[in-house]
Amino acid sequence: MRHLKAGRKLNRTAAHRKMLMRNLIKALIQREQIRTTDAKAKELRRWADRMVTLGKKGTVHARRLAFAYLGSRRLVQRLFDEVTPRFQGRSGGYTRVLKIGPRRGDAAPISLVEFTVRGEGTTKRAEEAKGSASSA
């Protein structure tokens, strides 16, 4: 029986699951929104909210824990300085999962995972990326 065993196995070994979640969280912090399957998105929401909670604490210990998980000083700095200040008045629910629809190749259900409060620099970066893509 799986009583009190939270989390999805995602048909992967424990090490593979751990690295998958690390990579998804890194991508989410870097890009502010990512597309992935529904099951991965629901599991990612748990871990991403924990990272934002660490960022809200703002202590040296919290930075070290975040660095131990993310493995990048640049991402830790972005998490603590850019992402978490937006959520100071909020006590949870830092990420949102929006269902997009089936993936074209295998009809897997796809979701969009994003932070609930978007940064002002994010929209500028998206517009620049669209502008450079259309001019190329």
Domains of the chain (ranges plus CATH)?
14-135 (3.90.1030.10)
Encode pLDDT of 81-129 as tens digits. Answer: 999 999 999 999 999 999 999 999 999 999 999 999 987 765 555 555 5
Structure tokens at 38: 């529904």
Encode pLDDT of 26-37 as tens digits. Answer: 999 999 999 999
pLDDT category of residue 136 using cuts at 50, 70 and 90:
very low
Structure tokens at 36: 């992935």
> What DSSP designation does 115 have?
E
The more confidently predicted of residues 58 and 4 is 58
- Residue 101 burial (10 A CB sphere; 0-12, 13-18, 19+): exposed
**Average pLDDT of the segment spanning 22-27:** 97
Residue type, 14: A
pLDDT category of residue 14 using cuts at 50, 70 and 90:
very high
Encode pLDDT of 42-89 as tens digits. Answer: 999 999 999 999 999 999 999 999 999 999 999 999 999 999 999 999
Strand partners, 113: 34, 97
pLDDT category of residue 2 using cuts at 50, 70 and 90:
confident
Q: What's the whole-model pTM score?
A: 0.83
Angle 41-35-14 from CA coordinates, rounded to 5°: 45
- CA–CA distances in Å: residue 65 to residues 76, 92, 102, 134: 10, 19, 36, 41
> What DSSP designation does 32 have?
S
Residue 121: predicted pLDDT:
63
